[in-house]
Chains A and B, each alone.
Chain A
Amino acid sequence: MKKLKRIFDKITHGVLFTSSMVTSVTVLLVIVFLFKEGIGLFNQTAVENHVVVVVNSANSVHELTSKQVKDIFNQDITNWKEVGGQDLEITTRSIDDLAGQFTEEELGTDMVNLPTLIDQYISDNPGVIAYFPDTYLKKDFRSKKIPLAKISVKEFISGVEWYPTSQPAAVYGAWPLILGTLWVSLGAILLALPIGLITALYMAEVAGQRLRNMLKPVVELLSGIPSVVYGFFGLVVLVPLIQRLFKLDVGETALAGSIILAIMSLPTIITIAEDAIRTTPRALKEASLALGASHWQTMTRVTIPYAKSGIIAAVILGIGRAVGETMAVLMVTGNASVIPHTFLEPVRTIPATIAAELGEAPFGGTHFKALFALGIILFIITFIFNMLVETVKTKKV
């Protein structure tokens, strides 16, 4: 009998050990995968594989950044002197433009003549810049390949433009997305902290047993609602409301995202904060009341300070969870990757960007990797959130 028990103990121990090991290893693998894909972004250029950017050999410009290339092809830059070259009008040519300039006869079967034609065309036009697959690059071409600078971490983080599909060079500046994420989260904290705290205080300190028994399941029910439903609610109710209230052109704003995020994080905040408030010893509250303090004074001077670290942890945890939330925020923030200046502008968050673009990013391409790099940033943000929780949790008076 005793022996059987010992064997059973050993088996349970083994199962627990194995499952915890498997879990840890899986989590680690996911993180390793995230970093491997994301960091891969930084040793390549923003031009798609096998595409070359070419100018006339007499052009004095030797290198361009992805952003400059994008601006040139967008006609935002129209003269070479703006990027440090001669005073010369820029002519842009995509592969389609180039191919379209020639008749089918000239091109020959399977466009065998295209490399020669392109080379000829570029040599004849000093102001031209063109991009095309490197298979159309003539063996001994006379024009000049423009090497694009590799994407740098600094550029990726501090870049203010996010044009992942612009041709020939994508621009990956995550700063607006980082700011969008932080803005929406900050707004959510500002909204959720007072509401969550007041509700938690009410439930823990004021409401009677009966009312609490009714409120608690309602709050917990909130956390069971799928985020798409929140998003839909936001889109149908909140967005038009904000639009009308602030007389905006579009109601999809950072504010809408913050409100939805706040609502979504409230259950976590209320539940954890209420538990924290409940840990305040009865003896301390009685001591306060016995000195002539009112209930309100007792709450603000004894209960809240005592539960402070728990309350902060609740808020950070609630928001931290919601920050990673994609669908709801994606639906209501308008998804404009511009740097927000007020809460009434459309913004775009990191998770929303990943969700929206991952489907159309070619597997393994730079866009794909850029999204993973965004994932790393999100991971770091939430990691910092969690570190904050740990530090406030362990800090006691």
Chain B
Amino acid sequence: MSDHKVEVKNLDLYYNDFHALKNINFTAEAKTVSAFIGPSGCGKSSLLRMFNRMNDLIDGTRFTGEVFVDGQDIYEKNIDVDGLRKNVGMVFQKPNPFPKTIFENVAYGLRVNGVKDKHFIEKKVTEAIKQAALWDEVKDKLKKSAMELSGGQQQRLCIARALAVEPALILMDEPASALDPISTGKIEDLIFELKNQYSIIIVTHNLQQAGRISDFTAFFYMGELVEWNKTKTIFTNPTDIRTQNYITGRFG
């Protein structure tokens, strides 16, 4: 057992013959925000999707190494994958609400996990929407379709949807990249709030964003985890020349 929230040991990932992640070693502590940065195509999403076994869904993926969440090897034979995914929430790059009502979107995770109690569901949905800083905007139209919301509202709804099942860890894959600056600001504030309760790993290509919201930052380059450290250290005093070049904007 370890007290690390996430621990990755000697991970190599392949898409068929393509070697996407190369010997990754990484840990994330509970109730911190870790940011994955790096030029696009360097493997940030691929690693993130290892943590809730989303890569299982892609034909032709293979890996070697180990991934632990809360000390549990999540690729062990007898692991309950649905249970793992309930415990590890994910927010995707593009808002992807279900074509259902706002209420049903947030209630979805509870329902599929067998919650039947109407009052409990109502309470959880309300809490989650409030937590996602969306309540004031949608409280009068919970029965309306989620598709009627703006992009930024949809993304916060997706965060509320993930929060409703009370995951221990939340994965966010460039959650603000498709949004306008105001919505982006709201999401960043939200992440800042959530940090007190949740462990968060966020992929971002926006360096300022990583600097603003994260405690730890990991820099990836061509499938390698070049270095990771306290965010402040990475931004002020990186050890690797490639990190230095990237954060000073010399490439990527």
A residues near B (Cβ < 8 Å) are 208-209, 281, 283-284, 286-294, 297, 301-302, 305-306, 396-397
CB pair A292 B98 closer than 8 Å:
no
CB pair A397 B113 closer than 8 Å:
no
Q: Tell me the complex Cα distance, A317–B118, Å.
A: 39
CB pair A291 B85 closer than 8 Å:
yes
Interface: B63 (CB within 8 A) = no
Is the interface on chain B under 10, 10 to 19, 20 to 34, or 35 or more residues? 20 to 34
Interface: B96 (CB within 8 A) = yes
Interface: B147 (CB within 8 A) = yes
CB pair B112 A291 closer than 8 Å:
yes
CB pair A293 B82 closer than 8 Å:
yes
Interface: B203 (CB within 8 A) = no
Q: Tell me the complex Cα distance, A288–B162, Å.
A: 10
Q: Tell me the complex Cα distance, A41–B96, Å.
A: 59
From B52, B96, B145, B161, contact of A397 by CB (8 A): B145
Given contacts A290-B85, A397-B100, 6 further A-B contacts (CB under 8 A): A287-B161, A288-B112, A289-B85, A292-B109, A293-B108, A301-B111
CB pair A283 B100 closer than 8 Å:
no
Contacts of B54 in A (CB 8 A): 286, 289-290
Q: Tell me the complex Cα distance, A289–B56, Å.
A: 11
* A279: min CB distance to chain B, Å: 12
CB pair B96 A291 closer than 8 Å:
no
27 contacts between A and B (CB under 8 A): A283-B92, A283-B96, A284-B99, A286-B90, A287-B97, A287-B161, A288-B108, A290-B52, A290-B54, A290-B89, A290-B162, A291-B86, A291-B89, A292-B82, A292-B83, A292-B86, A292-B113, A293-B82, A293-B108, A293-B109, A294-B112, A301-B108, A305-B100, A306-B99, A397-B100, A397-B145, A397-B147
Interface: B218 (CB within 8 A) = no
Best-buried of A284, A287, A289, A305 by chain B (most CB within 10 Å): A287
Contacts of A290 in B (CB 8 A): 52, 54, 85, 89-90, 92, 162
Contacts of B59 in A (CB 8 A): 208-209
Interface: B241 (CB within 8 A) = no
B158 (CB) vs chain A CBs: closest residue? A287
B residues near A (Cβ < 8 Å) are 52, 54, 57, 59, 82-83, 85-87, 89-90, 92, 94, 96-100, 108-109, 111-113, 145, 147, 158, 161-162, 165
A300 (CB) vs chain B CBs: closest residue? B112
Q: How many A-B residue pairs have CB under 8 A?
A: 72
Contacts of A301 in B (CB 8 A): 108, 111-112
Contacts of A283 in B (CB 8 A): 92, 94, 96
CB pair A288 B98 closer than 8 Å:
yes
A306 (CB) vs chain B CBs: closest residue? B99
CB pair B92 A287 closer than 8 Å:
yes
From A208, A284, A289, A396, contact of B98 by CB (8 A): A284
Contacts of A286 in B (CB 8 A): 54, 57, 90, 92, 96
Q: Tell me the complex Cα distance, A209–B59, Å.
A: 10
* B173: min CB distance to chain A, Å: 11
Q: Tell me the complex Cα distance, A287–B57, Å.
A: 12
CB pair B109 A291 closer than 8 Å:
yes
Q: Tell me the complex Cα distance, A290–B109, Å.
A: 9
Q: Tell me the complex Cα distance, A95–B158, Å.
A: 85
Q: Tell me the complex Cα distance, A301–B109, Å.
A: 11
* B252: min CB distance to chain A, Å: 26
Contacts of B83 in A (CB 8 A): 292
From A208, A289, A293, contact of B57 by CB (8 A): A289
A285 (CB) vs chain B CBs: closest residue? B57
Q: Tell me the complex Cα distance, A283–B90, Å.
A: 12
Contacts of A292 in B (CB 8 A): 82-83, 85-87, 109, 112-113, 165
CB pair A287 B99 closer than 8 Å:
no
Q: Tell me the complex Cα distance, A287–B100, Å.
A: 13
CB pair A291 B147 closer than 8 Å:
no
Contacts of A289 in B (CB 8 A): 54, 57, 85
Contacts of A284 in B (CB 8 A): 96, 98-99
Best-buried of A208, A288, A289, A290 by chain B (most CB within 10 Å): A290
Q: Tell me the complex Cα distance, A311–B94, Å.
A: 27
Q: Tell me the complex Cα distance, A305–B104, Å.
A: 13
Q: Tell me the complex Cα distance, A290–B170, Å.
A: 11
Q: Tell me the complex Cα distance, A305–B165, Å.
A: 22
* B210: min CB distance to chain A, Å: 23
CB pair A287 B98 closer than 8 Å:
yes
* B69: min CB distance to chain A, Å: 14
Q: Tell me the complex Cα distance, A291–B160, Å.
A: 12
Q: Tell me the complex Cα distance, A281–B99, Å.
A: 11
Q: Tell me the complex Cα distance, A292–B169, Å.
A: 13
B86 (CB) vs chain A CBs: closest residue? A292
Q: Tell me the complex Cα distance, A292–B54, Å.
A: 11
Q: Tell me the complex Cα distance, A271–B161, Å.
A: 34
Contacts of B100 in A (CB 8 A): 305, 397
Q: Tell me the complex Cα distance, A306–B82, Å.
A: 22
Closest 8 CB pairs of A and B: A292-B86, A291-B109, A293-B112, A283-B96, A290-B90, A397-B99, A292-B85, A297-B112
Contacts of A302 in B (CB 8 A): 98
Contacts of B98 in A (CB 8 A): 284, 287-288, 302
Q: Tell me the complex Cα distance, A268–B90, Å.
A: 38
* A292: min CB distance to chain B, Å: 3
